[in-house]
Amino acid sequence: MDKVYIRGLEVQTVIGIYDWERKAPQTLIIDLEMAWSIAEAAASDNIDAALNYKSVSQRVIAHVEASRCLLIETLAEELATLVREEFGVPWLCLELSKPGAVGEARTVGVKIERGEAA
């Protein structure tokens, strides 16, 4: 199975359950790995046959910036659904990290897999 990935995508959004978290945007870090056959793109050397990681990144950023979820679990599910439906990705692994949420940890977060692996 071929995979296209985006690592370390930093996005600012309002997220969290505490009052102080609802007052100012926080940084989230997104790592996304998506199943996608690169054979057609490689053979044609044509971006239209590829999973365009710039387009995926821009769409994910727009969604996250506009979201106002309380939980990163909710946002992770929304992003997984968005990428699978809008870009036709059959399988993905998404890691959503919230640095600074726990003072003693570098980061905390969730990691989910959705869809069928080839």
In eight-state DSSP terms, residue 68 is -
Q: Give yes or no for residue 74 having a pLDDT over 70.
A: yes
Kindly provide the residue ranges of all beta strands, DSSP E only, lying in 14-70, ordered along the sequence: 26-35
Split at pLDDT 50, 70, 90, the class of 102 is: confident
Q: Give yes or no for residue 117 having a pLDDT over 80.
A: no
Angle separating helix axes 72-87 and 53-66, nearest 10 degrees: 140
> CA nearest 15: which of 66, 61, 72?
72
* Catalytic member of 3, 23, 54, 98: 98
Contact 12, 63 (CB under 8 A): no
Mean pLDDT lowest among 11-15, 16-20, 85-89: 16-20
Class of the domain covering 3-115? alpha beta
Domain extents in the chain: 3-115
Residue scoring higher pLDDT (100 or 55): 55
Percent residues over pLDDT 90 in the chain: 91
Catalytic residue check, 111:
no
110, β-bridge pairs: 96
Mean pLDDT, the chain, as a whole number?
A: 95
Q: Give yes or no for residue 118 having a pLDDT over 70.
A: no
pTM of this structure: 0.93
Q: How far apart are CA 1 and CA 14, in angstroms?
A: 35
Q: How far apart are CA 43 and CA 23, in angstroms?
A: 49
Q: Give yes or no for residue 71 having a pLDDT over 90.
A: yes
Give the pLDDT confidence of 19-66 residue by residue, as tens digits. 989 999 999 999 999 999 999 999 999 999 999 999 999 999 999 999
